[in-house]
Structure formats: structure tokens, C-alpha cells
Amino acid sequence: MKHNTTLTEQQLNQLIERYFNGDTTVDDEALLRRELAIDRWHTDVADEARFVLGYFSMAKPQVATRRASWARRLAAAACIGVLLAAGIVMLNARRGQCVAWVGGQPIDDQEQVMNLIASDLGNMGDASDELQQSMLNQLTITN
């Protein structure tokens, strides 16, 4: 096969078939790599050969760049929106108040909130004591 001319689609497909069959020379493979590196061939066979040869990302770089740019802009806009929403929430938050949410309802009576906290801390302390006793029992049994 001549290496100094541009291949037709039929010649390219034959070269790709020979490559997959293991019947190409080093020069044939170099020609195949050169042909697939240019953005001329838009067939499933050429895309498969690009993938195998590692040129898959070279098939349509302009489209990928545009998509990446669009995706980056969308991500940046989403981040800005989240930051703005968080800022608005923080500005409108109740300052200096103690609020607990129980069952989806806010409790803003400071005495009730403190009782809930004390109860939860007591439950955690009881669970910690039980865990400590259980571990001591396990260590005693092991020894």
C-alpha cells in the first residue's frame, strides 16, 4: 500500500482490518496512526481503531472543548448560586437564639432546648458507661 498518498475510506477500512488481524507492517501501522490522528474519518470502524490505538480523544477535540467549557460555566454558576443562598440564609438566621428542631418543628424556648440537650447528654453518658462496662467484662473473660 502506498504511504505517500491519502487513503480512501475503503483502503482505510482494509488497513484497519489488516491491523486487527495482525497482518500489518511497521510502516502500515505508522500510516494507520497518521490517518486516524487527523479529523477526517468519522466511522465506527475508525473510532474503534482510534480507541485501540489510543487516539480516541483526538477524534473531535473541538466538540469536547466546547462541552467542557459549557460544563465549567454551569458548575461555576451553580457554586455561586449555592454560596449566595447560604449567605442569605446566614444573614436571615436568628442570632443569639438557641433553637432545636424536633420532628421537623423548631423549639425556640431556651429552657426546653437546654432540657433536650441535657437529656441527650445523659443518654450518651449512660451508653458510654454501658459500653465501658461491657468492654471490661470482655477483657475479664479473655484474661
Between 89 and 12, whose confidence is greater?
Answer: 12
Domain-embedded: residue 3? no
For residue 52 the three cell numbers come to: 485501540
Burial bucket for residue 31 (CB in 10 Å: 0-12, 13-18, 19+): buried
14 and 54 in a single domain? The answer is yes
Q: How many domains does the chain have?
A: 3
Q: Which of 15-19, 37-41, 85-89, 110-114 has the lowest mean pLDDT?
A: 85-89
Domain-embedded: residue 2? no
Please give the Cα distance from 44 to 52 (Å, whole number).
12
For residue 48, give its domain range: 9-59
What average pLDDT does range 73-91 have in this prediction? 72
85 and 123 in a single domain? The answer is no
Q: Cα dist. 60→29, 31, 37, 40 in Å? A: 21, 20, 10, 10
Task: Name the phi and psi angles at 103, rounded to 5.
Answer: 60, 30
Convert the pLDDT of each residue in 94-114 to its tens digit: 556 677 777 788 888 888 888
Please give the Cα distance from 108 to 85 (Å, whole number).
23
